[in-house]
Amino acid sequence: MAGGGLREDLLEQLEKVRSLVKAHGSPHREVYLDLENSGLVFEEALVALHEAYKIHGNPSITHRPGWRALEAILEAELGLMDLIGVDNGEVVFTHSGTEANNLAVMGLARASCGRRKIIVSQIEHLSVKFPAERLQEHGFKLVEIPVDEEGFIDLDYLAGQVDDDTLMVSVAAVNHEIGVIQDLRAIAEIVKDKSPGAIIHTDACDALGRIPLDLESAGVDIASFSGHKIFAPKGVGALYVKEGLKLEPILHGQLSSQRLWPGAENIPAIAGFARALELFRKNFDEYRSRMRRLRDMLIDGIFERVDDVVLNGPKGDMRAPDNVNMSFLYCEGEALTVELSLRGVYVSSGSACTSRTLEPSHVLLAIKRPYEVAHGSILMKVSPMHDEDDIKYVLEQVPEAVKRLRAISPRVVM
């Protein structure tokens, strides 16, 4: 085998990552709050995942193991329908929320008979924004709806844009970065009033289990979900498609129980998703009030202990119960994630895709945060698995980490 090239690069990278992990040692306590990018998993969902690995069948095949696999899919489908308030239509299981969003946007464009306008909010997740942008190369027109300084979309601007050329309007029910909850019912009313044939898509990955969803009565036609966002194992997403809606597949292949997403279904992850859905359905109010209590303890605690901090997104009931996004002035977000990681507190700066390029998040720029403020933002999410002691620990560590970074920040020295 020839040496050098990729192999050498990978070995070098592996060595670096190993030394980073080693340098961290074992913090005496760890609190994982980077739930935007990867989830904790409910113990019960893990048990369901393990059990389902013993189901060897493919749900399209007519034998006992095949029917066991189909049973797992149907249970998850019913569980999702219960939690999102729909009785009809189709649920398609993908392998992630990203795939579900791509299927929604691309699949609707492929099925479009003449309508060419796609409307999205300025703060959509990149898995909606990027496919919508790509469609411009195929003759579609993209319109972005602005948001105010808390992230609420401009409904008048939306009303002015919807017309009979509008194929779809896509607005996330809850924004993944700043937690703003949009009024889906008002959006759907405006859109359907202007153009009854326009389709309403919502990326509900961050809304599932966080806010009550009644998609049928809100007038939503198509909605995306991600398993790890509700503490199911990774490797499963879903798309709800209203009955009668025209959507073309974007993948083609053989044999599947699902027309819109061919290929072998991830049955163990789907079984874990079903269990997580059931837990959220049974404990919805308790989980929500627990998350809200921990969220407020974290936000209030940081304001009490640290100066020059800004909350990104709205306060109170119009903010998702799990979301804490704060900018620490005179601190660089990436540096803060590393400093906190050394202390066993795991957070992210902006969304994963954005932070990899070190560009400030498009969401924070859309709510008109100056560049330096957007750069100092930290995203933390709480879950029903966290408790007050976790938050107390985070509240001890954040002020220390910020103080250390500010002490070496050139802007403070100046």
Ligand X SMILES: Cc1ncc(COP(=O)(O)O)c(C=O)c1O
* C-alpha 69, offset from chain centre: 27
CB of 244 to ligand X, least distance (A): 25
Please give the Cα distance from 183 to 293 (Å, whole number): 23
Min dist CB 110 to ligand X, Å, is 20
CA distance 23 to 338: 11
Closest contact distance (angstroms) between CB of 107 and ligand X is 16
- What's the min distance (Å) between Cβ of 87 and ligand X? 25
Q: Which is nearer to ligand X, 226 or 327 (CB)?
A: 226
Burial 333-345 (b: 16+ CB within 10 A, else e): bbbbbebbbebbb
CB of 152 to ligand X, least distance (A): 16
Residue number of the CB atom closest to ligand X: 97
> Which is closer to ligand X, CB of 127 or CB of 266?
127
Q: With respect to ligand X, which residue has the nearer C-beta, 98 or 121?
A: 98
CB of 377 to ligand X, least distance (A): 15
d(CA 243, CA 222): 10
Q: Is 113 a catalytic residue?
A: no
Cβ proximity to ligand X: between 306 and 364 the closer is 364
Q: Which helix (H) or strand (E) element contains residue 95? A: none
Catalytic residue among 113, 205, 331, 353: 353
Nearer to ligand X by Cβ, of 38 and 289: the residue is 38
Minimum CB distance to ligand X smaller for 57 or for 131: 131
Torsion of Cα atoms, 167 then 197 then 173 then 209, to 10° = -120
Instruction: Enumerate binding residues for ligand X (CB under 6 A).
Output: 36, 96-98, 101, 125, 127, 172, 176, 203, 205-206, 226, 228, 237
Report, in Å, the least distance between residue 294 CB and ligand X. 19
Beta carbon nearer to ligand X, 350 or 360: 350
For residue 314, the minimal CB distance to ligand X (Å) is 17
The dihedral through the CA atoms of 75, 77, 83, 88 has a sign that is negative
Cβ distance to ligand X smaller for residue 92 or 405: 92
Distance (Å, whole) CA 116 – CA 110:
11
Known catalytic residues?
A: 353
